[in-house]
Amino acid sequence: MRIKAISLSWFRGAADPVSFEPGCKSIVVYGVNGSGKSSFVDALEYALKDGRIGHLAHEYSGKRQERAVPNTHMPAGRKPELSITFAEDSELKIEIQRDGTCSRSGGEAAALGTWDYRRTVLRQDEVAAFIHDTKGGKYSALLPLLGLQSLEVAAENLRQLAKSAGEVTRLGETKAHLKQVNEKRTAAFGTDTDDQILAKIGELHAKYCADKAATTDPLSRCKELKTALDTRIAESTADQRRHVALQEASAPGLKGQVTAVREANARLAGAVEPLITEKLEVLQSTGAFVDRLADEKEVMCPACGRAISVDAFQAHVEAERERLHEIIVPFDTRKAAIATLCDTVKSLKSNLGKADVQAWRDELAKGPLADNFAYLDATNAEDLRASCGEERLKAIEDRLSPLIQAAQSASKDAPPEAKQLSTDKQTVEAGDAVIGGKQQAIAAEHAEVLVSFIESLEQGIRDEIRLRSHTVIDEISADIQAMWAILHPGDAIENVRLYLPKGADKAIDVGLKFHGVKQDSPRLTLSEGYRNSLGLCIFLAMAKREADKDRPVFLDDVVVSLDRNHRGMIAGLLEREFSGRQVVILTHDREWYTELRQQLDAKNWVCKALLPYETPDVGIRWSHRTTTFDDARAQLKDRPDSAGNDARKIMDVELALIAERLQIRLPYLRADKNDRRTAHEFLERLIADGRRCFQKRVGKGYDSHQEVLDSFEDADRLLVSWANRAAHGFDMVRPEAVKLIDVCEKALECFKCSSCGKPVWFANAEGPEFIQCECGEIRWRYGKAQDD
């Protein structure tokens, strides 16, 4: 879908409607800095990125860039508008309200949504952006080209699914609980196997529940056993009941449990304290951060302080989330340890609160354990779940341990039957926990296996992405290398390629060989100019892979840091690799524009120049000329000297290129003087050669083109006398500058046929020594002067 025209009204630099009309052809647009070239690129970006322009994303432009998009001098009652007309006259229109909201109309609005900005527009500040981007950023930029978005989406969804599976089963908490159960098992059953434990429960069931022999389910057996034992204890003598209660009270491994909570607290504090410090900073910065996020391309990460792109922010947040997720494990362990301690304190309180032990308690309460009992009575075990700090743990240890020791001491001389009842009860409780835990262990194992299966599958998909990426990346690398070879023939920088760094998913980088030495990044060795050149090759290689070959490519001032030689290769590169595409080149480089006008095939290319910007009310304006003399004219009013000087500089460049076209031979000068000849030198030679070489059709033959020679002589005379004066800072009055510009322009016009409008070098004529315009009205004979 080629672009026929982009029209702007009060959008960025535009005032009243101004149209950029490549007419579906490729185009070179020249304009001095600030003439408004980029306003057209801004319009395309605005349309592609749903009302956002990257370089305007900053804190001063407003949330919807409403302070940056409209022309600063837009009259009341007007609003910024843009329209893009495509081939076959389909059109997208966008109207922007004062608050920055916009409305779209036209059938092409949806189709444009499939265009990828990064493969459509390359701006000056973005040339090296790909090279400077992170490995992840490069991967994101290339992902649409790899055609692997669905795989990437699937891998990410699997990653989240694995997490969800862990969360729904409370895997962390369950595992911590099972650890406690295991400790209980060791205490009660030693190294007994599951079968031995079941056998023991079976024996006890036969002993205490003989009437329920039909029950075979181990958990049901435990339940029945608990009831039977409680009944048996309740029916025993007061002395036996006292001993059972004391024995139960003396059993808990309180000390170990307090230590477990203490250790969990320490682990948690070690992990959480630095995290909390960081997260507090995050919270403090979040307000300002979120505001900036909407406007900035790059923001400072509040957690680590690094500058980070908005794209990379997502990944960064994810990494932070991972860290928080890891913290959950010690939390779960601590929770389980506290739960066990809580149960123990409850059990102790319950056992020592029984009426059966009241007499024993009353006796002890008269002595030094009075405070301990008071503490136990006042303790609400459930409070431990909310707060279980060191102070609390120390109190539990100091106050409750003596009570347990006293119970242990008192239960030593328990009658054998009471001892047995107590032991059996503890065995049943441990067995119940072990058997119940078995079910939980199976569920946890299932969850763990499922999580690891999903994680493995995610890795498998990432391997698949990697495998497929290699193929596409190799193809893009081949294009980059071919383009690099055109721009840098003979340079000792070779094998420029994209590669997938080892051990990193979602990452791509650029490698090369610098004078034969392998480099993992262009940033290690390449100069800024080379990096930009490489950035251009990468962009073009990516754009080349665009499936829709009718989509245009915009290059906005991308050759700023390239030297003349390398810049000169770009036309060849574009004609070779992009001859079938619509290419839009915008440049403020007059010399390059002049070169391109000469180099590019006029059948496919249009060249247009913008007038220098005057005021926002006047807005962007096109020059009626393809030459750049309007730059000089713009200075006539205030600085006629500069206008004259500009005219001379334009002639220096234009004539150098024309001389090359016409194969004018000039004496060789030393060093760079050879490349810096003046218009006078060329005109002198053109006048001398032109008498015999520049011919005009007269009847059926050709004769010397005298009018042209007169124009050259006029221009040369004025350039020598006036332009030199202007260049050296002497006064030049406005009429003199006007005349100089007109004469220079007229001289250049002489190379163009007044009948067909094509230049004299447009086509080869009948003999190899002649070139001519399209209709043959004017022609030039190569080397005539030297041969004669």
Partner 1 sequence: MSDGDWITQRIAAAKADRPLVTQAVLARIEELLRGRLSEGEVSRGDLTTIAKDLLAKMASVPPEAEVNR
User: Where do contacts with partner 1 occur on this chain (CB under 8 A)?
Assistant: 150-151, 153-154, 156-158, 160-161, 164-165, 167-169, 442-443, 445-447, 449-450, 452-454, 456-457, 459-461, 463-464
Gap between the Cα atoms of 200 and 177, Å rounded: 23
CA-closest candidate to residue 725, choices 651, 644, 659: 644
Asked if residue 204 lies in contact with residue 427, where contact means CB atoms within 8 angstroms, the answer is yes
> CB neighbours (10 Å) of residue 27?
23
Q: Judged by CB, which is closer to partner 1: 116, or 343?
A: 116
* Amino acid, res. 18: V
The distance of closest approach from Cβ of residue 194 to partner 1 in the complex, given in angstroms and rounded to an integer, is 11
| Residue 463 C-beta: closest distance to partner 1, Å | 8
Closest Cα to residue 384, out of 339, 353, 351?
A: 339
Q: Which is nearer to partner 1, 146 or 158 (CB)?
A: 158
Residue 217 or 660 with smaller CB distance to partner 1: 217
Q: Which lies closer to partner 1 via its Cβ, residue 456 or residue 754?
A: 456
447 or 634: whose CB is closer to partner 1? 447
Q: Which is nearer to partner 1, 202 or 256 (CB)?
A: 202
Q: What is the DSSP string of 606-660?
A: EEEEBPPP--TTT---B-SSSSSHHHHHTTTTT-HHHHHHHHHHHHHHHHHHHHH
Residue closer to partner 1 (CB basis): 129 or 454:
454
Alpha carbons 560 and 127: distance in angstroms, whole number: 10
Nearest approach in angstroms of CB 435 to partner 1 is: 15
Alpha-carbon span 392 to 331, nearest angstrom = 18
Residue whose CB is less far from partner 1, 111 or 161? 161
| Cα Rg of the chain, angstroms | 43
What is the spatial order of strands in the sheet that 121-123 belongs to?
Answer: 121-123, 553-556, 583-587, 26-30, 605-609
Smallest distance, partner 1 to C-beta of residue 115, A? 20
Nearer to partner 1, 290 or 442 (CB): 442
Q: How far is the CB of 469 from partner 1 (least distance, A)?
A: 14
Nearer to partner 1 by Cβ, of 314 and 420: the residue is: 314
Give least dist CB 471 to partner 1, A.
Answer: 12
The two three-digit tokens of residue 318, written as one number: 């994810």
Look up residue 672 and give its two tokens. 């760079």
Angle between helices 416-487 and 238-250 (to 10 degrees): 20
Among residues 361 and 462, whose Cβ is nearest to partner 1?
A: 462
- Cβ-proximal residues to 210 (8 Å cutoff; 6+ apart), any chain: none
Helix (H, G, I), strand (E, B) or coil at 493: strand
Closer CB to partner 1, 168 or 671, in the complex: 168
Closest distance of CB 453 from partner 1, Å: 5
Element (H, E) at 708: helix 706-718
Whole-number Å distance between alpha carbons of 227 and 236: 14
Tell me whether residue 454 or residue 510 sits nearer to partner 1 (CB atom).
454
**Closest CB to partner 1 among residues 165, 540:** 165
How far are the Cα atoms of 494, 759, 773 from residue 754, in angstroms, in the given order?
Answer: 48, 9, 10
- Shortest distance (Å) from residue 161 CB to partner 1: 5
Q: Smallest distance, Å, CB 442 to partner 1?
A: 7
Nearest distance from C-beta of residue 220 to partner 1, angstroms: 16
| Minimum gap (Å) between residue 447 Cβ and partner 1 | 6
Q: How far apart are CA 142 and CA 73, in angstroms?
A: 40
CB-wise, 124 or 169, nearer to partner 1?
A: 169
CB of 459 to partner 1, least distance (A): 8
Taken as a whole, the chain contains a residue count of: 788
Closest distance to partner 1 from the beta carbon of 155 (Å): 9
As a whole number of Å, the end-to-end CA separation of the chain is: 54
Q: In the complex, what is the shortest distance from the CB of residue 221 to partner 1, in angstroms, rounded to a whole number? A: 18
Give whichever of 154 and 472 is closer to partner 1, judged by the CB atom: 154
CB-wise, 288 or 324, nearer to partner 1?
324
Please report, as a single letter, which amino acid is at residue 106. G
Helix (H, G, I), strand (E, B) or coil at 765: coil
CA angle 153/158/160 to nearest 5° reads: 95
**What one-letter code names the amino acid at 59?**
E
**Closest C-alpha to 254, from 319, 331, 343:** 343
Report d(CA 345, CA 322) in Å as an integer: 36
Distance CA(137)–CA(704), nearest Å, equals: 63
Please state the closest distance from residue 160 (CB atom) to partner 1, in A: 5
Measure the CA–CA gap between 353 and 347, rounded to whole angstroms.
10
3 state SS of 781: strand
Q: Of 635, 643, 778, 636, which Cα lies nearest the Cα of 711?
A: 778
Query: Taking each helix axis from N to C terminus, what angle separates 370-378 and 310-352, rounded to the nearest 10 degrees?
Result: 130
Task: Give, in degrees to the nearest 5, the angle at Cα 89 between 88 and 95.
Answer: 145
CB of 474 to partner 1, least distance (A): 18
Nearer of residues 195 and 391 to partner 1, judged by Cβ = 195
Q: Which helix (H) or strand (E) holds 319?
A: helix 310-352
Q: How far is the CB of 174 from partner 1 (least distance, A)?
A: 12
123: β partners:
556
CB 64 within 8 A of CB 99: yes
Closest distance to partner 1 from the beta carbon of 427 (Å) = 25
544/59 Cα distance (integer angstroms)? 35
- Reduced to 3 states, what is the DSSP secondary structure of residue 256? helix
Which of 422, 359, 365 minimizes the C-alpha distance to 232? 422
What letters, b where the CB count within 10 A reaches 16 and e where it falls short, cover 617-639? eebbbbbeeebbbbbbbbbbeeb
